[in-house]
Amino acid sequence: MNTDSASSPRLPLVVTTRDEVRHHIATARKTGRKIGLVPTMGALHAGHLSLVKAARRECDFTVATIFVNPTQFGPHEDFQKYPRNLDADLKLLASLNVDLVFAPTVAEMYPPGSTTFVEVGAVAAPLESAARPGHFRGVATIVLKLFNLIPADVAFFGQKDYQQSLVIRQMVADLDVPITIRVCPIVREPDGLAMSSRNVYLSADERRRALSLSMSLRLAAELVAGGERDAGAIIRQMREVLDTAGVQIDYVALAHPDTLEVVANIQGPTVALVAARVGNTRLIDNQLL
Ligand code: AMP
């Protein structure tokens, strides 16, 4: 376990090339350290930092990656305007004593001539993929590339991106990737809004309306706790909360937590998932019931 005191943050080593990151990981491996990996797209917030803290607790050498991955964005999505703030990110990572940061360029990760992609099956097909075709192909591809460059013992992801966590588990199982996947709880603002790098896009009015996502999920949990088992009835009431707030619903679903198959009746563990546009900003959230 890492025993550095929190009072002496040192700047993490920042590398931008695949050769450098391989070299530093190989060195950490030689000294027998347990390596934790936290992949991110930067614009870090407390949700990301919770993953870093989990990595620091479990591992002896923590690597964070910062890369806004173009292959997971659709042609009309926010790749260009996605928030980027490397200096602030590095300060936050330094305060948590991260050992190594890998922040490559697009050309470094996708040199001319790279044409191979990872397609994950059924679990990648519903929900997010309806609005974002090809999204998980891009996610799985970049995550596998990061796993190959940074052969960590454990990789940390957030439940915030619930379907993504299943896609990555499926890929790791199917392709025999020797890495343990940990999924950490959703970190929320005090009023319940799930933290997201995209929340900075919201105007004050949109920020208020965005609360309807977490409110609809809380309502679902309350209805189930109160004995409601009819998924249709629960979804109707969740949609009402979202409609009343004037957000544009992409989907509201109650699904099996491992397969994402929709459930008609709540009989066992179930996950409620929502995606909605608030103005021009697309937000997602979920809750296990
Ligand atoms: P991103 O930078 O959006 O690609 O997110 C990087 C990682 O942080 C992913 O595994 C996300 O699921 C996770 N993450 C993002 N927001 C949160 C949050 N509010 N709580 C917990 N994890 C999160």
Asked if the model's pLDDT at residue 4 lies above 60, the reply is no
CA–centroid distance, residue 157 to ligand 1 (Å): 7
Per-residue confidence (pLDDT) for residue 154, from 0 to 100? 99
Per-residue confidence (pLDDT) for residue 109, from 0 to 100? 98
Side-chain-side CA neighbours of 70 within 13 Å: the count stands at 10
Give residue 8's pLDDT band: very low, low, confident or very high (50, 70, 90).
Answer: low
Contacts of 246 (CB under 8 A, 6+ apart): 209
Per the residue annotation, which of 23, 45, 48, 135 is the catalytic one?
Answer: 48
Per-residue confidence (pLDDT) for residue 156, from 0 to 100? 99
What's the rounded Cα separation, in Å, for the pair 74 and 215? 28
Residue 29 parent element (H or E): helix 18-30
Which ligand 1 atom sits closest to the C-alpha of 159? Answer: 12
Q: What is the pLDDT of residues 18-37, one digit of tens each?
A: 999 999 999 999 999 999 99
Long-range contacts made by residues 140-143, C-beta under 8 angstroms, separation at least 24? Answer: 140/167, 140/168, 140/171, 141/71, 141/116, 141/117, 142/39, 142/67, 142/69, 142/71, 142/72, 142/109, 143/39, 143/168, 143/171
Substitution site in 71, 154, 161 for ligand 1 pocket (most atoms within 8 Å of beta carbon): 161
Q: What is the pLDDT of residues 227-277, one digit of tens each?
A: 999 999 999 999 999 999 999 999 999 999 999 999 999 999 999 999 999
Q: What is the pLDDT of residues 209-224, one digit of tens each?
A: 999 999 999 999 999 9
Q: What is the pLDDT of residues 31-73, one digit of tens each?
A: 999 999 999 999 999 999 999 999 999 999 999 999 999 999 9
**Ligand 1 binding site (Cβ under 6 Å of any ligand atom):** 40-41, 47-48, 50-51, 157-158, 160-161, 184, 186-187, 194-197
CA–centroid distance, residue 113 to ligand 1 (Å): 30
Q: Whose CA is nearest to atom 14 of ligand 1?
A: 158
Q: What is the pLDDT of residues 76-132, one digit of tens each?
A: 999 999 999 999 999 999 999 999 999 999 999 999 999 999 999 999 999 999 999
CA–centroid distance, residue 139 to ligand 1 (Å): 13
CA–centroid distance, residue 22 to ligand 1 (Å): 24
Asked if the model's pLDDT at residue 6 lies above 80, the reply is no
CA–centroid distance, residue 229 to ligand 1 (Å): 30
Q: Is position 48 annotated as part of the catalytic site?
A: yes
Distances (CA, A) of 20 to 30, 33, 75, 94, 121: 16, 18, 31, 19, 33
Q: Whose CA is nearest to atom 10 of ligand 1?
A: 157
Substitution site in 41, 48, 196 for ligand 1 pocket (most atoms within 8 Å of beta carbon): 48
Q: What is the pLDDT of residues 183-202, one digit of tens each?
A: 999 999 999 999 999 999 99
Asked if the model's pLDDT at residue 182 lies above 50, the reply is yes
Which residue in the block uniquely carries the two structure tokens 């296990």? 288
Substitution site in 44, 49, 51, 287 for ligand 1 pocket (most atoms within 8 Å of beta carbon): 51
Per-residue confidence (pLDDT) for residue 243, from 0 to 100? 98
